[in-house]
Structure 1
Amino acid sequence: MLAYERTGSGEPLLLIHGIAHRRQAWAGVVERLADEFEVITVDLPGHGESPAFDLAGRTVREAVAAELHALRTELGVEQPHVAGNSLGGLLALEMGDAGHARTVTALSPAGFWMNGVDYLYVRGLFAGIQAVARPLAPVAGTLLKSQVARAITMGCFFAHPERIDPVVAAADTANMVASREGIKTFFSGVYRYPGPTQTEVPTTIAWASRDLTLLPYQAKVAAQRLPHANHRRLAGCGHVPMNDDPDLVAEVIRETARKQPGSQRVA
């Protein structure tokens, strides 16, 4: 079973992190939403405290969908609101297509690169970061106390790496190293988002304006493939916007949740 945390009360909200990250990426957003939602954060297979990825003869896409379905079954949550970042955004969109989400909020989602060069750039970026993270991990607790060091090592993910708690930065670095096999497995099964199979689930795609991982022009591809969705720009945010501006991310999720059919939420 995937590792998870369950906080707050209200309608269920599932938060899914991106590749090489962990459920704690959502900490600031959880603080802002736990009074309104029952918030569930999860570690993807091979990440954080979740067990290693076991494909068991399945594709990566099939395996991770099955793991998320098993988690919902275990928790008794049939149709949560779902928000995801990067790979998590892609998974959130697919949960909406499968009828497993009330609403979907995708933050700089994966699966919208224009060509092979885009994909090679992302894969090379992660390979380079992992190459730096492995020797850095043993001294990260000391080195990442420096704002300059955090800017150099984490600037590709965050617009404001100086805002990251050094303890969190060191733990994220250790997680990236420990998750290398899970990262490798996800990249082995990479695919583009094929387009929605239905358009009735309220959906927001919000792209970070300072995204250096999945470059912001990919938002145009997303707008073409999902013309029914609400498309937003996350001003001043990097690829992982939950740390750069948790207030903004929380509000985007709230706004999307209010659009569910029959919602009584007051704007």
Structure 2
Amino acid sequence: MELSYARRGSGEPLLLIHGIGHRWQAWEPVFDRLAAHHDVIAIDLPGFGKSALAEPGPDGRHTIERAVERIAEAFSGFGIERPHVAGNSLGGALALELARHGHAASATAFSPAGFWTTRRETAWAVGSLSAIRATTFAPAPVLRFVTGRPAARALAFGLIFGKPRELDPALALGDTLALRTGKGFLPVARGARHYRYSGATGVPTTVAWGTKDRILLRRQFEQAKRLLPDARFEDLPGCGHVPMNDDPETVSRLILETTGAVGE
């Protein structure tokens, strides 16, 4: 299947993968910094942004494993074989899985899904995002009012971002509408409920977690350390669940340090 994407820069390929309910523009704050060093491809996952929802797997579910297959199948269309991969949330899990399956030269994961230790943690993450999505069905004038005012953004986006007041209003409105219209949200959320990450990536890997992440809780960071003992781990001070807006400089630096570690 074809994926919607944006592409800039030159050099070794770097694939960027957003989280559930988001779109490729999640990476806009770091795109040009990364494109100064890499051929950067930011995709819309199937069922999000402008990408069509993919067919489910044989079991009728939209699982992480199925998404990995779909993304890897798209590589030939991009003219790439084994890119560096960075992802956030669901995209972080996909970055790690692509590496584990031999499809990535390096992996950088920001608050990756799949390290929850209890069903309650899973329910909290899915429930919180579902509640946020429910608010996106408010009338358009309400959405423009909320996304256009710092105090209102702090209330509406405080669960997701560490610095919601600093969000670009146009980007915030676009993300809100993308969350509302994403056909993949419900099937992908259902398919990921029972997902747990396991196994080594076998490539340079960085896992970073925002100190203000209120979606995937900090204890999952500790679980990631136990399951990926060979990875590099970094705190993201002041960052929420989606750190690219909160601290684009640090996010860019960690990705570039990880891609630069290949062959060392």
Name the TM tier (shorter chain): over 0.9
Are 2:54 and 1:49 aligned? no
SS at match of 1:195: coil
Are 2:99 and 1:96 aligned? yes
Answer whether contact 1:53 1:185 (CA < 8 A) is retained.
Answer: no
Provide Cα deviations, 1:198-219, integer angstroms capped at 9, x if missing partner.
Answer: 4530111011111011011211
User: CA shift at 1:136, angstroms?
Assistant: 4.7
| Aligned with 2:228 (options 226, 229, 238) | 226
- The 1-side partners of 2:106 and 2:263 are apart by 9
**Equivalent runs, 1:73-222 vs 2, <5 Å:** 73-179=76-182, 181-190=183-192, 191-196=194-199, 198-222=200-224
- The 1-side partners of 2:80 and 2:132 are apart by 36
SS at match of 1:14: strand
Q: Give the structure-1-normalised TM-score.
A: 0.93
- The 2-side partners of 1:183 and 1:138 are apart by 24
**Equivalent runs, 1:6-45 vs 2, <5 Å:** 6-45=7-46
Aligned amino acid, residue 215 of structure 1: L
- Alpha-carbon RMSD across the aligned residues, in angstroms, is 1.4
Unmatched segments (≥5 aa) in structure 1: 263-267
Greater shift in the superposed pair: 55-64 or 215-224: 55-64
Greater shift in the superposed pair: 156-165 or 52-61: 52-61
User: CA shift at 1:163, angstroms?
Assistant: 1.2
SS at match of 2:138: helix
- The 1-side partners of 2:73 and 2:201 are apart by 25
> Percent sequence identity over matched residues?
42
Answer whether contact 2:115 2:197 (CA < 8 A) is retained.
Answer: no
Provide Cα deviations, 1:203-246, integer angstroms capped at 9, x if missing partner.
Answer: 11011111011011211000000001011111111100000000
Aligned amino acid, residue 9 of structure 2: G
SS at match of 1:135: coil
Aligned amino acid, residue 66 of structure 1: E
Provide Cα deviations, 1:132-191, integer angstroms capped at 9, x if missing partner.
Answer: 111154532233211111111111110101111111111111111101x31111111113
- List structure 1 segments (4+ residues) > 6 angstroms apart after TM superposition: none
- The 2-side partners of 1:149 and 1:63 are apart by 37
Aligned amino acid, residue 255 of structure 1: E
- The 1-side partners of 2:65 and 2:107 are apart by 20
Unmatched segments (≥5 aa) in structure 2: none
Aligned amino acid, residue 51 of structure 1: A
| Aligned with 1:241 (options 240, 243, 250) | 243
Answer whether contact 2:210 2:240 (CA < 8 A) is retained.
Answer: yes
Q: Give the structure-2-normalised TM-score.
A: 0.94
- Aligned residue-pair number: 260
Provide Cα deviations, 1:108-152, integer angstroms capped at 9, x if missing partner.
Answer: 000001101101111211221122111154532233211111111
